[in-house]
């Protein structure tokens, strides 16, 4: 029974699991602290804080103790609406007195002054910082409408006077402001003046030709001969840039895929090494020569691949290639050396060196050397599998953290909204 309890307590807890649990506990402690601090500050300190003028009604959830006549300690959760604060008469008077200059400043927008209005005005309907609403009127809506749009295309150079009226209110107190202004024609460059004059002239001609199927454009304007051309579509210059960008991205993608394929090949070679060594040890121990064992392994792989029982594995593909080279007349030592060079990894280079040395020197210790190499290969395979597991756990870390973040947002946001 004690042994079973020990086994249970020795179950591993990963760093990710520990971090998630610690993060959850920490966030819970923080939220509880802010919850207790916020409640005490709101209720026991200054009561239920009222929103500023124009910010609307606030609703607070309050635990009320003592309402129940039977159970004195019973707490009842009650929603208490608190209206927004209103200005006192003196506060409203002081605010309205200093508001005139601010209204004029924000109204000007891109204009230099109200005496030289050439562009649209900025008629704001809300002054949120003060909780005030504004209603605008003008003495000539055809010149400046209640949205501040200025229609000054046909104004004479001397300009035209206008009266602007702003009615400001906080819902209880009101004040009316009047501003005198003068509207002038828009400030145009020489090119803009030429375009405006020609458009006006073309509009007059269009009105005269309105019964015809098409507008016949004039051949002369102010003594200048005219020629009309259709503008070219200007959206094609981006195409060469897009083509070049696509070519670069394809090249980058090709390089990335090559690197990914190379890493996958190395991974498969490392995972297959222990299996290759163990098969060689078994066949050589059964009395096969090195060449016979090699050809038997290659033939078995080819048969399994043909029957669909095996997927393509780079280590066995290289063994099949080496077996074909030997059958074609290449010496065994050279074939094994080429095999190690093509695999390109240190374990396979070492195996090729052992087999090549056996062919040259006829070493009797090949079986012992292969046994030692097999033990080392299985240890390497365990390390590789452990590394793959750690990489998979690391890749899962980001989704887990994102899920934790989403859950925390779902908890924290309603809590803060309830406080404030």
- For residue 13, the model assigns a pLDDT of 53
Q: How many CB atoms lie within 10 A of CB 268?
A: 16
Strand partners, 175: 168
Look up residue 47 and give its DSSP letter: -
The string of DSSP codes covering 125-186 is: SEETTTTEEEEEEES-TTTB-TT--B--TT--TT-EEEEEEEEEESSS-EEEEEEEEEE---
Q: Please report the pLDDT score of residue 212 as a whole number.
A: 81
The pLDDT of residue 46: 56
Angstrom distance (rounded) from CA 342 to CA 269: 11
C-alpha 288/C-alpha 133 separation (Å) is 99
Tokens of 278: 């163990």
Distance between CA atoms of 340 and 245, rounded to whole angstroms?
40
**First-to-last C-alpha distance (Å) of the chain:** 55
Identify the helix (H) or strand (E) that includes residue 295: helix 290-306
What pLDDT is recorded for position 74? 77
pLDDT at residue 163 in the model: 92
Amino acid 5: pLDDT: 40
User: Mean pLDDT of all residues in the chain?
Assistant: 80
What is the phi/psi pair of residue 113, to 5°? -160, 170
Q: How far apart are alpha carbons 277 and 280 in whole angstroms?
A: 5
Give kind and range of the element (H or E) at residue 416: helix 366-419
Q: What is the pLDDT of residue 362?
A: 66
Please provide the size of the chain in residues.
420
DSSP state of 64: E
Tokens found for residue 151: 């229609």
**Domain residue ranges of the chain, discontinuous segments joined by +:** 49-85, 89-183, 260-392
CATH number attached to the domain at 89-183: 2.60.40
Q: CA 323 to CA 297: how far, in whole Å?
A: 10
Spans in the chain with pLDDT lower than 70: 1-15, 17-18, 34-46, 188, 232-237, 362-364, 419-420
């Amino acid at each position: 029974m004690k042994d079973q309890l020990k086994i249970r307590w020795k179950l591993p807890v990963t760093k990710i699991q520990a971090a998630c649990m610690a993060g959850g506990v920490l966030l819970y402690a923080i939220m509880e602290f802010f919850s207790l601090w916020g409640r005490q500050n709101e209720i026991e300190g200054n009561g239920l804080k009222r929103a500023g003028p124009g910010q609307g009604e606030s609703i607070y959830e309050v635990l009320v103790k003592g309402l129940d006549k039977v159970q004195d300690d019973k707490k009842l959760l009650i929603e208490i609406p608190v209206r927004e604060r209103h200005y006192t008469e003196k506060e409203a008077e002081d605010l309205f007195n200093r508001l005139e200059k601010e209204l004029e400043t924000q109204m000007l927008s891109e204009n230099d002054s109200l005496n030289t209005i050439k562009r649209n005005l900025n008629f704001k309907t809300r002054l949120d910082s003060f909780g005030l609403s504004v209603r605008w009127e003008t003495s000539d809506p055809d010149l400046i409408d209640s949205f501040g749009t200025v229609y000054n295309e046909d104004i004479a150079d001397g300009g035209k006077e206008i009266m602007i009226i702003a009615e400001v209110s906080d819902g209880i107190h009101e004040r009316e402001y009047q501003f005198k202004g003068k509207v002038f024609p828009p400030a145009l460059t020489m090119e803009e003046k030429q375009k405006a004059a020609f458009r006006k002239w073309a509009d007059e001609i269009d009105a005269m030709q309105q019964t015809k199927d098409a507008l016949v454009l004039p051949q002369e304007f102010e003594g200048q001969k005219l020629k009309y051309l259709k503008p070219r579509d200007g959206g094609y210059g981006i195409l060469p840039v897009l083509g070049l960008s696509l070519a670069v991205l394809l090249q980058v993608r090709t390089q990335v895929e090559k690197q990914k394929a190379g890493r996958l090949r190395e991974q498969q070679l490392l995972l297959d090494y222990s299996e290759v060594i163990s098969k060689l040890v078994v066949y050589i121990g059964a009395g096969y020569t090195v060449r016979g064992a090699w050809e038997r392994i290659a033939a078995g792989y080819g048969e399994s691949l043909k029957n669909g029982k095996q997927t393509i594995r780079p280590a066995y593909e290289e063994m099949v290639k080496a077996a074909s080279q030997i059958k074609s007349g290449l010496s065994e030592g050279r074939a094994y050396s080429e095999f190690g060079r093509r695999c390109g990894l240190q374990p396979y280079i070492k195996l090729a060196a052992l087999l090549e040395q056996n062919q040259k020197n006829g070493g009797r210790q090949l079986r012992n050397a292969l046994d030692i190499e097999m033990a080392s290969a299985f240890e390497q395979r365990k390390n590789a599998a452990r590394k793959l597991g750690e990489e998979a756990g690391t890749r899962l870390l980001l989704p887990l953290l994102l899920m934790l973040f989403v859950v925390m947002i779902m908890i924290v946001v309603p809590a803060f909204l309830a406080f404030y």
